Amino acid sequence: MKAVVCHAPRDLRIEDRPEAAAPGPGEAQIAISHGGICGSDLHYYLHGGFGAVRLVEPLILGHEVSGIVTALGPETQGLAVGDRVAVNPSRPCGTCAYCLRGQPNQCLDMRFNGSAMRTPHEQGLMRAQLTLPAAQAVRLAPGTDLALAAMTEPLAVALHAVRQAGSLVGKRVLVTGCGPIGCLVISAARLAGAAQIVATDIAEAPLGIARGMGADEVIDLGRSPEAMETLSRGKGTVDASFECSAAPPAIAGTLGATRAGGTVVLVGIGGEVPLPLGTAVAKELTLRGTFRFHEEFALAARMIETGRIDPAPLLTGVHEAEEAREAFDLAADKSRAMKVQIRFPGP
């Protein structure tokens, strides 16, 4: 079967790998349909990793996929051959202290597909076929668009981030950084009852998509950097903010724009960056981090399946598996791409 494998920076190969194993008890075999290219996939492709996380062996990339069930093992319930599914890449251990206290996204022995955090690496999902615990496959309604379903994982990240802010009903919300996660945060905040959503970025193209995903006002800080000063008047003019870029200027601007007593959710993941703690202290801000997801994955699948959140505006294009290198190069060009996917042959 075809698999998209990263060996080193800029060394991406489309390889023939052995067929997936026959499913055992409680397992499902899935023919992958679509796989989205995430920021972490790009870090492996462009730089061989990020921070202390480095490739030390070839890694099948990908953790945003959908597919069709092709076989089931004994005692497997809740799925049938032919079902369309979104695949959850997260597999917490269920027994560590964090899992037992209801924080499985913080699992001490997490297995997350497409990650080099552990050695041997946890191989990813960008392959034509895989066998995995059936609990990782969320059943979708017949006819669900599998390209859209492959965006279940980033939507789950956005839903978890929005939960960190508490109630957004009737509130004015700021989202800084309008990449795929930022745009999905906008849609999730709208669904959570935000009265007004302001989105900022340093480029015009993603702001157009942000408006289509539910932003009421968009600000191009590349052209109008002074706009953050307006948002920051009177100790801030927004009730809750989601910082999705991890850029130091954006983080400082977000804290400035959030009203005294408001909440800032730090969504973007980057290197260590300065945090204006003086502003946070003086304005009595609540700072919240957000990391991955758990129960939000099934919820995200339902929202895409029913059309309550439509991620279609994010989809830049779909490439065949043989064109994976071209797909990654396109995804790396933020001036041209938002979400790029790779398609595998059907069952």
The backbone region for 114, taken as left when phi is positive above 0, alpha when psi lies in -120 to 50, beta otherwise, is left
pLDDT confidence bin for 273, thresholds 50/70/90: confident
Examine the pLDDT at 184 and tell me if it is beyond 90.
Answer: yes
Neighbouring residues of 298: CB distance < 8 A, sequence distance ≥ 6: 88, 138
272 confidence band (pLDDT: 50, 70, 90): confident
As to burial, measured by CB atoms within 10 angstroms (0-12 exposed, 13-18 middle, 19+ buried), residue 9 is middle
3-class secondary structure, 27? strand
| Confidence tier at 108 by pLDDT (50, 70, 90) | very high
Q: How far apart are CA 314 and CA 326, in angstroms?
A: 18
> What tokens does 297 get?
């994955």
**Tell me: domain 2-151+311-343, CATH 3.40.50.300, correct?**
no
Percent of the chain with pLDDT strictly greater than 90: 95
User: Do residues 297 and 90 make contact, with C-beta atoms less than 8 angstroms apart?
Assistant: yes
User: Where does the pLDDT of residue 51 fall: very low under 50, low under 70, confident under 90, or very high at 90 and above?
Assistant: confident
Over residues 84-91, the mean pLDDT reads: 98
Residue pLDDT, tens place only, 204-237: 999 999 999 999 999 999 999 999 999 999 999 9
pLDDT tens digits, residue range 112-157? Answer: 999 999 999 999 999 999 999 999 999 999 999 999 999 999 999 9
Q: Are 173 and 242 in contact (CB under 8 A)?
A: yes
Residue whose C-alpha is closest to residue 18's, from 7, 2, 32: 2
Q: Looking at residue 347, what is its pLDDT?
A: 66
The topology (CATH level 3) of 158-289 is Rossmann fold (3.40.50)
The yes-or-no verdict on residue 188 having pLDDT over 70 is yes
Is it the case that residue 45 has pLDDT exceeding 80?
yes
Q: Is the pLDDT score of 38 beyond 70?
A: yes
Query: For the chain, what is the mean pLDDT?
Result: 96
Predicted confidence band of residue 346 (pLDDT cuts 50, 70, 90): confident
CB 92 within 8 A of CB 101: no
Distance, CA of 163 to CA of 160 (rounded, Å): 5
Mean pLDDT of 170-198: 98
CA distance 39 to 343: 18
- Indicate the helix (H) or strand (E) that contains 206: helix 204-212
Domain chopping of the chain, boundaries: 2-151+311-343, 158-289
